[in-house]
Structures are given as structure tokens and as C-alpha cells.
């Protein structure tokens, strides 16, 4: 197979977005529009990618600096043909150039592969689509034999041509050697006064080159984004598409229209997800996992049989099997919960290990800690892990019982089998099976009168 030189046009300002952020860096489903295109291009074999940048060039460079891509600066935006022309010195003369757009995020690799198959050293191919409303889009003009003979931009189209519903998506596959011949011959005799890449079709036909078309059946897949309304519409289309995939794979979504996937989701069988769940990054759910309403999961693994109750947040954590979390729990980065551990309502866990069968059920903060098995944390307990400058660790052995409203001042260790009385402030280690009580002596005062409200001024 020939080498593919992908050319991504990403130099536009995106005026109608009304934003200081370059259009291609606006996000859809948790990734920038440009990143969607790059991720799709990366699925093609033997591929080298050039990104044409212009407005917000440094922001775009920084956003994708970790990727294996090359950047080509288009200092003046003089049209699509001009943009592609800037890349010619970087392209392999023996390759096929695949022109993509940084603001067309949902095109699929399978669609592009089909387009590439229609191309060889003696032909080029144009990706087209039949749309309900072609206004503003370039039309595919065909001859009496049904062969493409031109692409006419909307502003240059005649009334008859404007009735055509087959549109040019802008995506093309062209032999680089042919690009080198045709691009310098493109003129600006059009309503916009720009160098149109679409003019390459007539040049190709004039040189006896075959021009193929590849039809995309999904209008949304090739839709470009020019404003925030279109961005929102494509976001919903993407989410509906992903929801449909999950439903067909056996996942129960209580309402597919109220589900958001902003990354990659791997699931076992019989998973249930309630409304308004947001899954971001790389999320893995084992079998029989149940996620309640309004939960957010980011870059986490959840073991089989675990139940996550409503309004809980889990981020960069590993959750074992048959755990119980929430409602209203927050599991922060670096947390590991062993099998059958429980974290209840209004509990925050940060960078801690919660042992098997251990329970943190109510109104507690556990940070920088290590809990053994069968530990019980009473309501209102906190680990004081920060002294204003440094973080310290709290270690609780197996079968430790911590009474309600306890403060564990790190660094501190409570050994296996020990008990801490409610309301204690623990600043020293507690040995195995000891009872620790650390609170002031109670004093009762007879005849004490509560403060009263002062009378209002007349």
C-alpha cells in the first residue's frame, strides 16, 4: 500500500465561534476538534501527518505537541488550495495526499479508507454526501453520464446548481505528484477571490486523470463546525452514536439522551448506567456494575459487582469488586479500594488505600492513608495529613475501630485491633488492641444562662 500523507487544514480563525480559542481547539466529547481528526488519521496505516496552522498557531502547536505530527505555517489565509500548497515541500512525491479538515471531527477511518481505495497514481477521489440542506456548501456537478465534471462553490453556483443535494465534503485523496502539477495552476477567479482546492477537479479532468467520488451516507459524519450551535448539534449526535453502540453491546442506559461519554469506555456484561452520567478519559467497568444518576467517572477502573450511588465522583482511582460508593462520595486521584470496601455519603477519599471489607460510611475525609482490612471509620472522622507545608501518612492496621468525630493527626499509626474513642484527637501511635481516648475533661456548670437577643431599637 502507498504511503499516506495526511494534510489537516487547521489555520482558520473561526470568527463565528466568538472566541479567543482557535476553532479547532474547541472540544467535542472531551477532545478538541483537531484531536478527533488526528486520532482518526492515526488509524490509517503507513501515515504521515502535516497540520497547516495559521490563526492561534502557537496554541495549536502546544495543544498537540506530544503527537507525531509536523506543522506548516500558512501566514496568509488565501484559500484551501493555498493551504495545501504550503505543505508540498514536506510531502512524499510517491505518496497519496489525504486532505482533511480540523473542524470536521466525526469522519470515520472506514470512510477515509474507502476514499483512499478509490485513488491511485492515475486518479484522485472526492468524498461527497447527500444532504437535506446544501445551502452554503459546494455542489458536485455531474455530466450526462453521471461522472463528476466540477465542484461549484455555493457563492459561485447558478440557481440550477444550487438545487443539487450532493455536496463536496472538502476531503480528497490525490497523488502528490499530481498535486505538484495542479496546485500552481489554480487561479482566484471566483466570488471569494481565493485559491479553491475544488478547482483541482477540472484541472485533473483536463489532464485526462480519472476523478472518482466516494459517497458518505451519514451527513453528520462529514459536517463541519463554524459556530457553537453546530458544535452542540454534533456533540449530541456523537453521544447518541456512542450510546447506541453501548446499548447494542448489552449496556443498560436508563435514558440514552442523558448520557455523555468523553473518552473510552470498556465494559463487562449487565452494566447499568442511570441518567446524567459523565464518563471521561479511560474508564473500565466490570460486569454487573451499577452507576447511579449524576455520577462522574474519570480515568478509573471499577470492579465487577460494584455499586456507585447517585451524585458520586471518581477520578484516577482503582475500585475493587463488590464495593459500595456514595451517594455524594468523592474518590480522588491515587485511591485504591480493595474488594467489598464501602465508602458512604459525603465522604472524600484522596490518595489512600482502603482495605477489604473496610467502611468509611459517613461525613469523613481520608487522605494520604492506608487502611487495612475490616477497618471501621466513624462518622465525622478526618485524617489531618497536611501541616501547612508537607503531607504525612496515616496508617490503620486490620480490624481498627475509629470512633465518630475523631481527628487522626499524621504521621500516625493505629495498629491492628486497636480502638479509638469518639471525639479523640490522636497525635501519637496506638499499639495493637489498645484503646486510645484523647479528649478534654468534661465540665458541667450549674445555673448557666444562654445569651439572649438584644431588644431592637424602637
pLDDT in tens, 152-164: 999 999 999 999 9
Phi-psi domain of 113 (left: phi exceeds 0; alpha: psi -120 through 50; beta: other): alpha
306 Cβ contact partners less than 8 Å away, ≥ 6 residues apart? 286, 289, 290, 319, 320, 321, 322, 323, 324, 325
362 belongs to the catalytic site? yes
Q: Are residues 192 and 318 in the same domain?
A: no
Catalytic residue among 55, 212, 237, 362: 362
Q: Are residues 171 and 242 in the same domain?
A: no
Q: Are residues 239 and 140 in the same domain?
A: no
User: Residue 243 domain-assigned?
Assistant: yes
- Chain position carrying cell 495526511: 6
List the CATH number of the domain containing 10: 3.90.550.10
Q: Over the stretch 49-77, which tens digit does the pLDDT of each residue have?
A: 999 999 999 999 999 999 999 999 999 98
| 220 vs 200: CA distance, rounded Å | 25
Once rounded to an integer, what is the mean pLDDT over residues 302-320?
98
Q: Over the stretch 368-425, which tens digit does the pLDDT of each residue have?
A: 999 999 999 999 999 999 998 999 999 999 999 999 999 999 999 999 999 999 999 9
Q: Are residues 28 and 84 in the same domain?
A: yes
Residues 118, 188, 152, 185, CA torsion sign? negative
User: Residue 193 domain-assigned?
Assistant: yes
- Chain position carrying cell 444518576: 293
Q: Are residues 296 and 428 in the same domain?
A: yes
Total domains in the fold of the chain = 2
User: Residue 397 domain-assigned?
Assistant: yes
Largest CA distance in the chain: 108
User: Which structural domain range is residue 69 located in?
Assistant: 4-222
Q: Are residues 244 and 163 in the same domain?
A: no
Q: Are residues 239 and 186 in the same domain?
A: no
Task: Tell me what pLDDT residue 411 has.
Answer: 97
Q: Are residues 213 and 65 in the same domain?
A: yes
Q: Are residues 142 and 261 in the same domain?
A: no
Amino acid at each position: 500500500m502507498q504511503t499516506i500523507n495526511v494534510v489537516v487544514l487547521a489555520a482558520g480563525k473561526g470568527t463565528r465561534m466568538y472566541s479567543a480559542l482557535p476553532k479547532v481547539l474547541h472540544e467535542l466529547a472531551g477532545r478538541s476538534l483537531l484531536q478527533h481528526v488526528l486520532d482518526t488519521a492515526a488509524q490509517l496505516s503507513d501515515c504521515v501527518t502535516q497540520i497547516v496552522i495559521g490563526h492561534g498557531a502557537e496554541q495549536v502547536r502546544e495543544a498537540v505537541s506530544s503527537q507525531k505530527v509536523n506543522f506548516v505555517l500558512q501566514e496568509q489565509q488565501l484559500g484551501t488550495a493555498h493551504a495545501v500548497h504550503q505543505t508540498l515541500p514536506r510531502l512524499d512525491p510517491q505518496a497519496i495526499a489525504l486532505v482533511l479538515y480540523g473542524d470536521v471531527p466525526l469522519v470515520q477511518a472506514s470512510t477515509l479508507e474507502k476514499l483512499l481505495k478509490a485513488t491511485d497514481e492515475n486518479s484522485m477521489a472526492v468524498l461527497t454526501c447527500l444532504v437535506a440542506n446544501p445551502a452554503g456548501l459546494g455542489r458536485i456537478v455531474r455530466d450526462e453520464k453521471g461522472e463528476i465534471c466540477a465542484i461549484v462553490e455555493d457563492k459561485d453556483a447558478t440557481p440550477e446548481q444550487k438545487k443539487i443535494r450532493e455536496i463536496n465534503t472538502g476531503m480528497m485523496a490525490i497523488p502528490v505528484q499530481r498535486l505538484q502539477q495542479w496546485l500552481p495552476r489554480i487561479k482566484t477567479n471566483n466570488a471569494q477571490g481565493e485559491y479553491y482546492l475544488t478547482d483541482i477537479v477540472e484541472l485533473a479532468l483536463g489532464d485526462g486523470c480519472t476523478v472518482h467520488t466516494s459517497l458518505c451516507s451519514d451527513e453528520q459524519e462529514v459536517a463541519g463546525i463554524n459556530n457553537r450551535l453546530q458544535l452542540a448539534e454534533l456533540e449530541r449526535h456523537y453521544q447518541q452514536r456512542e450510546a447506541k453502540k453501548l446499548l447494542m453491546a448489552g449496556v443498560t442506559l436508563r435514558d440514552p439522551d442523558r448520557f455523555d461519554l468523553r473518552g473510552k469506555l470498556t465494559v463487562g456484561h449487565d452494566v447499568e448506567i442511570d441518567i446524567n452520567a459523565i464518563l471521561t478519559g479511560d474508564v473500565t467497568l466490570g460486569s454487573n456494575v451499577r452507576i447511579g444518576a449524576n455520577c462522574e467517572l474519570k480515568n478509573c477502573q471499577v470492579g465487577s459487582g460494584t455499586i456507585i450511588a447517585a451524585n458520586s465522583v471518581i477520578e484516577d482511582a482503582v475500585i475493587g469488586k463488590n464495593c459500595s460508593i456514595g451517594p455524594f462520595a468523592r474518590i480522588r486521584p491515587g485511591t485504591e479500594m480493595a474488594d467489598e470496601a464501602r465508602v458512604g455519603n459525603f465522604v472524600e477519599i484522596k490518595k489512600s488505600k482502603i482495605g477489604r471489607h473496610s467502611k468509611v460510611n459517613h461525613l469523613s475525609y481520608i487522605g494520604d492513608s492506608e487502611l487495612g482490612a475490616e477497618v471501621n471509620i466513624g462518622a465525622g472522622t478526618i485524617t489531618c495529613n497536611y501541616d501547612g507545608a508537607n503531607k504525612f501518612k496515616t496508617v490503620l492496621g486490620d480490624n481498627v475501630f475509629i470512633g465518630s468525630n475523631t481527628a487522626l493527626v499524621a504521621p500516625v499509626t493505629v495498629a491492628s485491633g486497636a480502638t479509638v474513642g469518639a471525639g479523640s484527637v490522636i497525635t501519637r501511635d496506638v499499639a495493637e488492641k489498645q484503646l486510645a481516648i484523647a479528649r478534654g475533661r468534661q465540665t458541667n456548670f450549674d445555673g448557666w444562662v444562654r445569651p439572649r437577643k438584644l431588644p431592637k431599637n424602637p
